[in-house]
Amino acid sequence: MATKGSDKYRTKFTLDERDIPAKWYNIMADFKTPPPPVLHPGTGQPIGPQDLAPLFPMELIKQEVSQERWIPIPDGIRDVLRLWRPSPLYRARRLEKALGTPARIYYKYEGVSPAGSHKPNTAVAQAYYNKKEGVTRIATETGAGQWGSALAMATQMFGLQCKVYMVKVSYQQKPYRRIMMETWGAQVVPSPSPDTQAGKKILLEDPSSPGSLGIAISEAVEDAATREDTKYSLGSVLNHVLMHQTIIGLEAKKQLEKADDEADIVVACAGGGSNFAGLSFPFAADKLAGKKKKLRLIAVEPSACPSLTKGRYVYDFGDTVGLTPLVKMHTLGHSFVPAPLHAGGLRYHGMAPLVCKLYDEGVIEAVAVPQISTFQAALQFARAEGIIPAPEAAHAIRVVIDEALRCKKAGKRQTILFNLSGHGHFDLGAYEAFLAGKLQDYDYPAEKIEAALRGLPKVSV
């Protein structure tokens, strides 16, 4: 399978569907020290499985705390993943040529899923376990709609009902994502909604509230907590969600082998962290085992929402309202509201605890990049490779191009792998603003972050 002879220009490294990973990789097994405990928001004490039982099926709670290195993927999940997995690995030959770099650039393309991103990898798993434990209905929140559409598709596949609380301003401004969810049979309401006590209360105070992810989370959690038939579902941050995404990196490793190549640099954007974890954790495994010491793993975040590079590594709430358990993570403060970036999936105040632990231990790096330069990178990519990237994925591309140009300057033939986590078909409004010169960069919001950090909960662990 070497890239020689008629394979000189090999571009696409596909796997057979028999090569869909049979097990998820659980990085918890490879940590030298256990991750900091998750704390109850009321008592400040470590929480147990029973605290999470009203919201999640037991199998997912077990996965959340499992120390097993490999967790088998049930056939019922793999049979849905077959619809688009294994996802292709591409060699970006045309981008390499456009850059004139000696570096080899590969990208794993998750935009081939019907929902257009990596999100269905965990949505399918979560829907499966809920179904298996007799749940008939799942409630969730969504901002721009990537997560909501992934879950709408997955619940439809398992015959579950799905209720999505969609941040009202997105509900109004991004009708296509809403219609997508409805096409897959989900019920979508603008949040705040009159369907929950939390929503009613906010509507009473401000009938024209535009909503927020924090409010939508509150509504979805209340919905799940107050209905016997309903559980709650989250699209990132949690350990089990990150683990479900590791099939991305596991496949990519096999595909790089087919390409007779090995990664020197692995890059992915990071909002809540599941996309970055999905690609990088199977590579981080090698580093945690003391191998591949020179391998670099780079998380890319927006400079307007730089939780890893500028946040504090402390206990904070996962949501903006302050209802969730407390987790130790790099955070900008749960009350921090990021600028209205087009990369909606990267507008999160914190970062997945597992990603934070790796960053804290120096296993991974992080870079923050400004908005306009990510769109410049996206445009260059689209014109070379065809695919129009989602604004989130464009953050990774920015750093990939920068690294490839560094290789050019240094005359180094390094191998760069990144995750093209989704296509930009529903983000063309952002491209229009960029092409018209109307896109703006946001200054590093130092004061806002400082203020938010002052509001961190007091925890003594």
Site string for a second copy, 93-132 (x = CB under 8 A): -x-----------------xxxxx----------------
Which window, 171-179, 233-241, 270-278, 349-357, contacts a second copy (CB under 8 A)? 171-179
Give the interface size with a second copy as a residue count (CB under 8 A): 46
Interaction between residue 11 and a second copy (CB under 8 A): yes
**Is 17 near a second copy (CB under 8 A)?**
yes
The least distance separating a second copy from the CB of residue 48, rounded to whole angstroms, comes to: 37
Binding-site member from 53, 176, 262, 461 for a second copy (CB under 8 A):
176
407 touches a second copy by CB under 8 A: no
Closer to a second copy by Cβ: residue 187 or 309: 187
- The yes or no reply on residue 182 touching a second copy (CB under 8 A) is yes
Gap between the Cα atoms of 246 and 26, Å rounded = 8
* Residue 194 binds a second copy (CB under 8 A): no
The binder of a second copy chosen from 363, 367, 388, 452 (CB under 8 A): 388
> Residue 382 interacts with a second copy (CB under 8 A)?
yes
Q: Does 185 interact with a second copy (rule: CB under 8 A)?
A: yes
Contacting a second copy (CB under 8 A), which of 58, 69, 84, 456? 84
Using CB under 8 A as the binding rule, whether residue 261 contacts a second copy is answered as no
The reply to whether 311 sits near a second copy by the rule CB under 8 A is no
Among 383, 413, 455, 461, binds a second copy (CB under 8 A): 383
Q: Is 4 in the site for a second copy (CB under 8 A)?
A: no
Stretch that binds a second copy, among 183-191, 293-301, 329-337, 403-411 (CB under 8 A): 183-191
Q: Which of 24, 165, 276, 426 binds a second copy (CB under 8 A)?
A: 426
Q: Which residues bind a second copy (CB under 8 A)?
A: 6-7, 9-12, 14, 16-18, 79, 82-84, 90, 94, 112-116, 153, 156-157, 175-176, 179-180, 182-185, 379, 382-383, 385-388, 425-426, 428-429, 431-432, 435
